[in-house]
Amino acid sequence: MDAAKGGAKIRSYEGMLRGGFSADAIYDIHEYLSPITVEEITKLVNGEVVYSPGSEFIKPLYGYTIVNSLRAILQLSYNEFQKLYGWSSERAMIYTEVSTGRSPMVALRVTNLKPALVVIHGIPASQVDKVAAKIAEIEHMPLIATVMPMTDLIRALQSHDIKH
């Protein structure tokens, strides 16, 4: 209902989640009104699958966070890094400004909270580092890559609430 009226209430909660840490590391954070599948997000963002675990490891997604990978790793504390998960870790973490995808996957490997999906933004699947793919396999975490322009990516991800 809030989305039909412009989403002011949802955006106010998103604003609270951003409070207290470097906003320049986060491009967008959004909680979905209804869950979305990994396959649906992959289609929305024109993603290429780098690694897909067995279906028993794939969870519904309740939101997404788009974060500048390098800024997050260099600027955010452990507590701030946890805030990237919003209300739920069952979300897509989309990392931008990556050259190979290795650094965000290494960072995820050593944290307790794990997203339900990792999206590497800005490089095709063929350029995602083999170590990043191996970490996704070890963690049973779906990993996709997309080169969709950022404004189109955000628009596509937000379109899920409009359709449902």
Contact 150, 160 (CB under 8 A): no
93-150 confidence digits (pLDDT tens): 999 999 999 988 988 888 778 899 999 999 999 999 999 999 999 999 999 999 999 9
The tokens for 97 are 């400004």
Beta bridge partners of 64: 30, 92
What's this model's pTM, rounded to 2 decimal places?
Answer: 0.82
Superfamily of domain 3-163: HprK N-terminal domain-like (3.40.1390.20)
In one-letter notation, the amino acid at residue 134 is K
Domain ranges of the chain: 3-163
Separation of alpha carbons 49 and 53, rounded Å: 11
13-40 confidence digits (pLDDT tens): 544 444 444 567 888 888 898 999 999 9
User: How many other C-beta atoms lie within 10 A of the C-beta of residue 98?
Assistant: 22
